[in-house]
C-alpha cells in the first residue's frame, strides 16, 4: 500500500515589508481546513487570512525580545501589510476563492 505524504509543495516567499523575513507556505488546503475556514471566518477577508495561516508552516518574524511570533490569523492581521499578503498569495499555486495563481508559469 502506498504511504501517504503531503502532496502540497512547500515554497519559501520573502515578506516585502520586513527586510530579511520569509515564510514557508504550502500550496493548498486540505478539505478539513477549508471546511473549518468556511465555518469559522465570517468574511471573505477573514477566510483568506485563515487560509494563509493554515497553509503557513514557518516564518522568521520575532517580537522585540527575539522570540518567534506564532503563526496565527491574528498575527497575520496585525503584522503583515495587505501588500505582503497579496505578494505571498501571488507566489502560491492554488486557487481558493479565485485569488491564487493556479496554473501560473514557473
Residue 88 pLDDT: 92
Flag whether the pTM goes above 0.75.
Answer: yes
70 φ, ψ (degrees, to nearest 5): -70, 150
Dist CA 37 CA 105 (whole Å):
28
pLDDT tens readout for residues 6-65: 998 899 999 999 999 999 999 888 888 888 888 888 888 888 898 899 999 999 999 999
Q: In Å, how far from its chain's centre is CA 94?
A: 11
Amino acid at each position: 500500500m502506498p504511504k501517504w505524504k503531503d502532496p502540497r509543495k512547500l515554497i519559501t516567499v520573502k515578506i516585502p515589508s520586513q527586510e530579511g523575513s520569509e515564510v514557508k507556505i504550502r500550496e493548498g488546503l486540505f478539505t478539513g481546513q477549508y471546511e473549518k475556514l468556511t465555518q469559522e471566518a465570517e468574511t471573505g477577508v477573514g477566510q483568506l487570512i485563515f487560509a494563509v495561516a493554515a497553509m503557513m508552516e514557518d516564518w522568521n518574524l520575532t517580537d522585540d525580545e527575539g522570540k518567534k511570533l506564532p503563526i496565527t490569523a491574528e498575527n497575520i492581521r496585525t503584522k503583515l501589510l495587505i501588500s505582503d499578503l497579496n505578494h505571498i498569495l501571488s507566489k502560491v499555486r492554488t486557487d481558493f476563492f479565485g485569488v491564487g495563481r493556479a496554473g501560473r508559469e514557473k
